[in-house]
Copies of this chain bind each other. A is one copy, B any other.
Amino acid sequence: MADMAAAWEPVPRSRTFELVLARIEEQILAGRLRVGDRLPPERELVDMLGVSRAAVREALRVLEAQGVLRSRVGTGPSSGTVIAAMPDAGLTQLLRLHIALANFPMGDVVEARATLERASARLAAELVTKDGLERIRDPLLRMDDASLPREQFNDCDTDFHVAIAEAGGNRLIADMTIAVRNAVRHTLLTVFNKLDDWEKVASRLRAEHHAIYEAIAAGDTEAAGDLVEAHVRGFHQDIVKKIIDGADPAAP
């Protein structure tokens, strides 16, 4: 037809599990399979598609890793393989590995975090509900406890940022924000544990968090966005960078 030239590249020597995958994706993209629907049992898929059970299972594994499926043994209503929807789990896992592989240098990750969290905070300031505000406030207050171990401080920090992302009501932006934050969770904990002046750093983070919270609670879109962006950028510039430099990852 009109095309040419662009049509000769892929030729993916399709392995059978990829064919199975394609069949299932087809149904999802066409809307015939929706969240909550059950797939036929593995053995039935084997008969229907004429492939081995191993091939079916490999396809299902892939979809499960993407957060699209959920499998349970047994007979009851909640058993079998059903279409689920847990994008952030798959997203987090994917980003975590790729960040570790340094396909995404720390600087890029920080830039992305700043972008996403800025957007999240702006949305939150606009749309947050009374309930959402409480979810943000809870980890904020828990972090005020000066005796909180660093690991739990880190978890609360994560919760705080996640709560903001979810308060904005945009699932996609929230999930990407959460995934990126989770992906650096371990790195940040390492940094925390290496700090000599921990209390000083913690105080600074607390103060910034409180300012962000106030801006969101006040519905001040611009301030919320700017503060979060500065918070993410500043933390990395002033603190993380010093620690990581010289302590190159993957060096023996």
Q: Write the A84-116 contact mask toward B (1 if CB under 8 angstroms, else 0).
A: 010100110111111011111100110110011
Within 8 Å of chain B (Cβ to Cβ): is A50? no
The number of times this chain is found in the oligomer is 2
Tell me if A101 and B58 are in contact (CB < 8 A).
no
Give the one of A17, A62, A87, A172 with max B CB within 10 A: A172
Tell me if A101 and B115 are in contact (CB < 8 A).
no
Within 8 Å of chain B (Cβ to Cβ): is A6? yes
Within 8 Å of chain B (Cβ to Cβ): is A57? yes
Within 8 Å of chain B (Cβ to Cβ): is A218? no
Tell me if B104 and A171 are in contact (CB < 8 A).
yes
Query: What are the residues of chain B within 8 A of A180 when measuring CB–CB?
Result: 172
Q: Nearest residue in B to A53 (C-beta to C-beta)?
A: B54
Within 8 A of B (CB), among A148-204: 149, 152, 155, 170-173, 176, 180, 186
Q: How far is the CB of A193 from chain B (nearest CB, A)?
A: 14
Within 8 Å of chain B (Cβ to Cβ): is A245? no
Contacts A62-B62, A66-B98, A112-B172 known; 8 new A-B pairs at CB < 8 A: A31-B251, A32-B250, A62-B65, A63-B97, A65-B66, A87-B98, A108-B171, A172-B180
In order of increasing CB-CB distance, the 6 nearest A-B pairs are: A31-B250, A115-B119, A62-B65, A104-B172, A85-B103, A112-B172
